[in-house]
Amino acid sequence: MNIQFPERFTWGAATAAYQVEGAAFEDGKGKSIWDVFSHVPGNIEDDATGDVACDQYHRYPEDIKLMQELNLQVYRFSVSWPRIYPEGTGVVNSKGLDHYDRLVDALLDAGIDPWITLYHWDLPQALHERGGWPNRDIADWFTDYALTMAERLGDRVKHWMTMNEAWVCSYFGYRDGNMAPGIKDHKQALAASYHFNLAHGRAYNAMKAMNPNLKVGITHATQQHRPLDGKPESLALAEFLWQENNGVFMEPIFSGSYPEAIIDRYPESIPVITDADLIEMNNYDFVGLQYYCDNLIRDGKLVAEKLPEFEYTEMGWPVTPDGFYNNIMEYVRRYKPKELAITENGMALDDEVDAEGRVRDVRRQKYIKAHLESVHRAIQDGAPLTGYFAWSFMDNYEWACGYRPRFGLIHTDYATQTRTIKDSGRMFAEIIRNTGW
Ligand code: GCO
């Protein structure tokens, strides 16, 4: 097999603040909804919290050396909003800003380009108490925060992602309640989803007006639904779920419209949609797609159990690399995007360091190569893909699953904070060095 990516293709790995930083109550940081949610007994496996996580807040110099060993060209990380605005709005915490300033400089000194996610789920608790994402005012709160960051770091950071996976925050955070802030209310979930899009658009316009050199995008947990039979009810469900999980978040950004199927299905819960809002939302320089697996459908229903014909990960997700190709091409077909990047893709296992100090994660190596083959094929077939970021740089706090699933290219020993590059990390470093294999 000879897989060669374009010379200018960008290679990186990603993390998020609450998952790696720790220092949850240091240097003036305010509480986020995850600080509160993770401390409620029973919400998280083993009642794990992100109080310490990988302690990257203090250990970033050591981690940057490891990024160099992995040949990473880009490190995608998120800023913790309550580190910057402990109360969500108002007074800026200069120690928080200084931290990201130092991190960005250290990355640049190491020859690694920083890409920043502004919102990776850690809403200031103070803003939750003022209504959070279901409150339309959040578009302005978020824009003020985005401008503060762009003003401070925009001279050194070109790539910005406003939201990470608004789908997950809206539906798991406000509809199903299994993620922070733990609300179960469909109407609030749809309002939140609308305001994620609005906040993205408003921040996009404001950031570009401040500094036209910035590239401002958004990342999306793309969902691909695979009917295992040809039954009409299976095909219909796949199409409806495309609209509910992708269309609601992507159609306004790409096309300035809102999926009719959702307006028709939920007349009671749908927020007021205006043309002015849609014009504001319809802005992006690039969209980051994040893909892990297909959702399987049979007999007109989502398949909940494990099927013998699929391999499953530590998250209980099937391994479906060909679905990744279909998913990317579906974006190209439906929305004709001008630029896409794969901002997350990866596999959870229960890796251990062996007696020789190695992590022999053969299954992850296969997963990465198989998914990269799909990316490569999509590029050959015209998809405007400019980069691929592994999730994750290192094992970290996997939200409601605590520390059990390990997604990293680097193993984290949480008791000692020892880092060990896994075999997959070494393989990824070689792929980057050769722009393929
Ligand atoms: C996600 C997130 C990550 C997760 C990863 C694995 O975007 O869901 O960006 O925080 O850890 O997807 O579940």
Convert the pLDDT of each residue in 96-129 to its tens digit: 999 999 999 999 999 999 999 999 999 999 999 9
Report the atom number in ligand 1 closest to the C-alpha of 292. 12
164 is in an annotated binding site: yes
Give the whole-angstrom CA distance, residue 142 versus residue 109.
30
- The alpha carbon torsion through 271, 273, 274, 278 (nearest 10 deg) reads 120
CA of 307 to the centre of ligand 1 (A): 24
Give the whole-angstrom CA distance, residue 272 versus residue 47.
38
* Vertex 314 angle, CA 312 and 320, to 5°: 35
High-pLDDT (> 70) share of the chain, % = 100
Give the whole-angstrom CA distance, residue 369 versus residue 390.
11
Phi, psi of 270, deg, nearest 5: -70, 135
CA Rg value for the chain: 20
Pairing type for strands 74-78 and 10-14 reads: parallel
- The answer, yes or no, to whether residue 1 has pLDDT greater than 70, is no
Catalytic, 344? Answer yes
Q: Active-site residue among 21, 244, 251, 344?
A: 344
Give the whole-angstrom CA distance, residue 206 versus residue 42.
40
Domains in the chain with CATH codes: 10-434 (3.20.20.80)
User: Mean of the pLDDT values across residues 216-223?
Assistant: 97
Give the whole-angstrom CA distance, residue 386 versus residue 158.
15
Check residue 274 and give its pLDDT.
Answer: 98
Report the atom number in ligand 1 closest to the C-alpha of 120. 9
Burial status of residue 309 (CB atoms within 10 A of its CB: 0-12, 13-18, 19 or more):
exposed
Pairing type for strands 224-227 and 215-221 reads: unpaired
159 is in an annotated binding site: no
Catalytic, 305? Answer no
* Vertex 187 angle, CA 290 and 170, to 5°: 20
Tell me the per-residue pLDDT of 137-182, one tens digit each, with 9 for 90 and over. Answer: 999 999 999 999 999 999 999 999 999 999 999 999 999 999 999 9
The band of 320, judged by pLDDT with boundaries at 50, 70 and 90, is: very high
CA of 267 to the centre of ligand 1 (A): 31
CA of 356 to the centre of ligand 1 (A): 30
**Contact present, 34 and 103 (Cβ < 8 Å):** no
The two structure tokens encoding residue 372 = 């990269």
Q: Is 396 in the pocket of ligand 1 (CB under 6 A)?
A: no
Instruction: Count CB-CB contacts under 10 A for residue 165.
Output: 24
